[in-house]
């Protein structure tokens, strides 16, 4: 009886051994991985064929059971190994198919590259100007846009009803503060909070009731100032001449015309040789931009007035200093040949994309 069972089990094992691999291959070929797994479960699963054979083992006597047990285990290992190998083959061929498939349609028309953003011309010019002054030893100083009347006007020597206060036509807030009309407020704040020597540039937005092709109600200035013992007008001129050459090119001349600002004495306006009508010979013909003069004004400057030093707690007997202030939009307009300041604030991509 037991030999009969043993022979029967042997037979079943032999049949299964001959069949499992072709069955796996057929299943994988027809239905891929899911079919292969299903076929595997039919053999090795809880109700699988090999499991059923194992259950018959109980009826086999001791020494035969050991022999058959070994055979069953061996076959189980063969089935598992074949199954794993086929799973790997399927995964590899799936990946090959993915890699070989064209990921895009070569016949589609190309897509134009997305245009890259870039700095606004006012920002580029501001950075350029600050870089030049940084290389000349100036540090950057910040100041507030909402300011006290004292720092914007009084300490700078504007008498209460001075026409300059009117001239600058200020935006006042309801609480009695104002939107600064120039970056000269930073001079005051720096001198009140620290001791000389100092060399600063102060960039920022300023506000005035102005609105035409060369004037905007909000624009940007860069203030520069140096305070130390024995600072001279010659140093002011040398600094600005160096700045003009670096910004507008070698050989760009500057000239200084006497001018009045309450916070400097002497005061001057600085013109640069017109960059639009310069001839190869270096002479300037005169054009509509420079109003036929060959010169364009770029900034105001002067030696800091002793009264300003007094108002800020700095000894005017010991210290002298110079200051200058330029309009960044004005510098940008000259740099890029922009005829109307309002173009700089409209944010029209057709305009901005040209820079
Ligand atoms: C001043 O604002 C002085 N604080 C400059 C200064 C500083 C003088 C230190 C002496 C010592 P002014 O008002 O001229 O000066 O303005 C300076 C520059 O700002 C002008 O040269 C011009 O380029 C620019 N600017 C003036 N008003 C406007 C405006 N409404 N829109 C655009 N730019 C302007």
Question: Nearest residue CA, atom 24 of ligand 1?
Answer: 327
The residue from 44, 68, 100 where one domain ends is 100
182 CA: nearest ligand 1 atom: 2
Please check whether residues 27 and 149 belong to one and the same domain.
no
pLDDT tens for each residue of 132-168: 999 999 999 999 999 999 999 999 999 888 765 665 5
Token pair, residue 105, equals 């349609």
The residue from 100, 130, 151 where one domain ends is 100
Please check whether residues 328 and 255 belong to one and the same domain.
yes
Residue 127 within a domain: yes
- Which residue range is the domain that position 236 belongs to? 121-352
Confidence of residue 28 (pLDDT cuts 50, 70, 90): very high
Q: Identify the bridge partners of residue 228 per DSSP, sorted by sequence position.
A: 320
Question: Nearest residue CA, atom 10 of ligand 1?
Answer: 301
pLDDT of residue 168: 58
Pairing mode, strands 198-207 and 139-140: parallel
pLDDT of residue 1: 44
pTM more than 0.85: no
Please check whether residues 226 and 306 belong to one and the same domain.
yes
Confidence of residue 251 (pLDDT cuts 50, 70, 90): confident
Question: Could you tell me which residues come within 8 angstroms of residue 201 by beta carbon, excluding any fewer than 6 positions away?
Answer: 129, 130, 133, 134, 138, 139, 140, 141, 222, 223, 224
pLDDT tens for each residue of 280-328: 777 888 887 788 888 988 999 999 999 999 999 999 999 999 999 999 9
Mean pLDDT of the chain: 91
Query: Does ligand 1 lie within 6 Å of residue 184's CB atom?
Result: yes
Please check whether residues 136 and 68 belong to one and the same domain.
no
pLDDT tens for each residue of 260-286: 999 999 999 999 988 788 777 778 888
Q: How far is CA 117 from the centre of its chain?
A: 10
Question: Nearest residue CA, atom 7 of ligand 1?
Answer: 325
Please check whether residues 348 and 247 belong to one and the same domain.
yes
The residue from 100, 129, 148 where one domain ends is 100
pLDDT tens for each residue of 58-97: 788 778 888 888 899 999 999 999 999 999 999 999 888 8
Please check whether residues 218 and 315 belong to one and the same domain.
yes
From ligand 1's centre to the CA of 227, what distance in Å?
21
Quick one: average pLDDT of 332-349? 87
DSSP state of 353: T
Question: Nearest residue CA, atom 6 of ligand 1?
Answer: 325
Number of domains forming the structure of the chain: 2
CATH of the domain at 258: 3.30.930.10
Residue 111 within a domain: no
Please check whether residues 295 and 158 belong to one and the same domain.
yes
pLDDT of residue 313: 97
């Amino acid at each position: 009886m037991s030999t009969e069972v043993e022979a029967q089990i042997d037979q079943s094992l032999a049949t299964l051994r001959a069949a499992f691999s072709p069955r796996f291959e057929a299943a994988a070929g027809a239905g891929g991985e899911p079919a292969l797994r299903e076929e595997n479960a039919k053999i090795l699963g809880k109700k699988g064929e090999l499991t059923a054979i194992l259950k018959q083992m109980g009826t086999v006597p001791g020494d035969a059971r050991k022999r058959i047990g070994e055979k069953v285990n061996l076959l189980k290992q063969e089935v598992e190994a074949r199954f794993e190998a086929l799973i790997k083959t399927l995964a590899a061929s799936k990946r090959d198919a993915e890699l070989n498939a064209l990921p895009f349609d070569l016949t589609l028309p190309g897509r134009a590259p997305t245009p890259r953003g870039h700095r606004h011309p006012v920002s580029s010019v501001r950075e350029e100007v600050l870089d030049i002054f940084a290389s000349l030893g100036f540090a950057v100083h910040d100041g507030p846009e909402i300011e006290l009347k004292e720092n914007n006007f009084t300490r700078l020597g504007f008498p209460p009803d001075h026409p300059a206060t009117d001239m600058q036509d200020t935006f006042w807030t309801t609480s009695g503060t104002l939107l600064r009309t120039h970056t000269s407020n930073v001079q005051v704040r720096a001198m009140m909070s620290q001791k000389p020597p100092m060399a600063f540039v102060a960039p920022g937005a300023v506000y005035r009731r102005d609105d035409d092709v060369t004037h905007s109600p909000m624009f940007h200035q860069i203030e520069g100032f140096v305070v130390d013992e024995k600072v001279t007008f010659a140093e002011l001129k040398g600094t600005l001449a160096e700045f003009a050459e670096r910004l507008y090119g070698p050989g760009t001349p500057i000239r200084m015309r006497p001018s009045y600002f309450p916070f400097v004495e002497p005061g001057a306006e600085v013109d640069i040789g017109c960059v639009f009508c310069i001839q190869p010979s270096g002479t300037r013909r005169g054009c509509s931009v420079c109003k036929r003069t060959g010169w364009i004004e770029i900034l105001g400057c002067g030696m800091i007035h002793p009264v300003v030093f007094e108002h800020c707690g700095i000894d005017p007997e010991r210290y002298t200093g110079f200051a200058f202030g330029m309009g960044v939009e004005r510098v940008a307009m000259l740099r890029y040949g922009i005829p109307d300041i309002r173009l700089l604030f409209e944010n029209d991509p057709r305009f901005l994309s040209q820079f």
